[in-house]
């Protein structure tokens, strides 16, 4: 964990970053949310303050690594890959997680015959082939994809570039994360969750299609679905206040 509880909060809200960048990428969102919640920034294994633990292979092992740091009856926000980890944690801690928010996330990132809402696996595989020797270039390209669709993409890219300069991630950690995105399908686990599930998507996201929302609702009819307008894959950067407001409105009932 890299952020202490805020005593004035009304409930504990754990925030899990995505692929390529540690928890510092979520500090702006956490600052917006901290007046309402006990915000905790969570570093996945291999990232940030958790970098010495290595990066356990497979999403099950990542979730297991983080569970000890997750207080019972908290709520989780997971961005992108972090959303998949949040699903796994909630599935392992049934009845002990109040809610999860899938922020620009999906139960299945890659396209399948029965899931046309993902991206082509070859797109991720091409990144995986290069990440060991060209990780800087790959992360810059990812920042570009993340910003595509934003109303001000240059500002989003600038923020990601600054974060990359401040925090280098081991290429092996990046490679294992890409492997998870390619091979993980959590649709069944999502359908079995007992907690409230909220999906918050950028309506112009190039990595998680807007159609993912209604498709996920078919899996989980109780899904609460919200969109951030004129936002790409990182609405918490390009539309920070709007994202925080949507999260606050969605989670207020869970804190009671």
pLDDT tens figures, 99-138: 999 999 999 999 999 999 999 999 999 999 999 899 889 9
Question: Binning pLDDT at 50, 70 and 90, where does residue 203 land?
Answer: very high
Question: Angle 81-92/171-183 helices, nearest 10 degrees?
Answer: 70
Q: How many C-beta atoms surround the C-beta of residue 222 within 10 A?
A: 9
Contact 93, 194 (CB under 8 A): no
Chain segment 182-193, per-residue pLDDT in tens: 999 999 999 999
Other Cβ atoms closer than 10 A to 132: 12
- Stretch 68-95: mean pLDDT, rounded? 95
The domain at 12-255 falls in which architecture?
3-Layer(aba) Sandwich (3.40)
- The reported pTM is 0.94
By the 8 A CB rule, do 200 and 226 touch? yes
């Amino acid at each position: 964990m890299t952020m202490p509880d805020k005593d004035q909060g009304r409930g504990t809200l754990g925030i899990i970053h995505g692929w390529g960048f540690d928890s510092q990428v979520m500090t702006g969102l956490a600052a917006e949310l901290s007046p309402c919640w006990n915000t905790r920034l969570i570093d996945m294994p291999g990232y940030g303050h958790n970098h010495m633990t290595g990066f356990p292979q497979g999403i099950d092992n990542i979730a297991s690594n983080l569970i000890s740091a997750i207080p019972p009856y908290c709520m989780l926000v997971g961005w992108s890959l972090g959303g998949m980890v949040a699903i796994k944690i909630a599935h392992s801690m049934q009845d002990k997680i109040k809610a999860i928010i899938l922020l620009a996330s999906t139960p299945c990132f890659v396209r399948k015959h029965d899931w046309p809402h993902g991206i082509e696996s070859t797109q991720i595989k091409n990144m995986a082939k290069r990440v060991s020797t060209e990780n800087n270039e790959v992360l810059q390209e990812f920042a570009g994809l993340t910003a595509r669709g934003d109303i001000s993409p240059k500002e989003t890219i600038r923020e990601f570039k600054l974060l990359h300069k401040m925090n280098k991630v081991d290429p092996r950690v990046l490679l294992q994360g890409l492997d998870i995105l390619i091979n993980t399908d959590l649709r069944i686990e999502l359908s079995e969750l007992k907690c409230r599930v909220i999906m918050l998507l950028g309506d112009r996201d190039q990595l998680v299609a807007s159609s993912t929302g209604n498709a996920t609702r078919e899996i989980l009819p109780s899904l609460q679905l919200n969109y951030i307008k004129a936002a790409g894959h990182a609405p918490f950067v390009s539309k920070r206040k709007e994202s925080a407001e949507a999260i606050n409105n969605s989670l207020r009932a869970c804190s009671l």
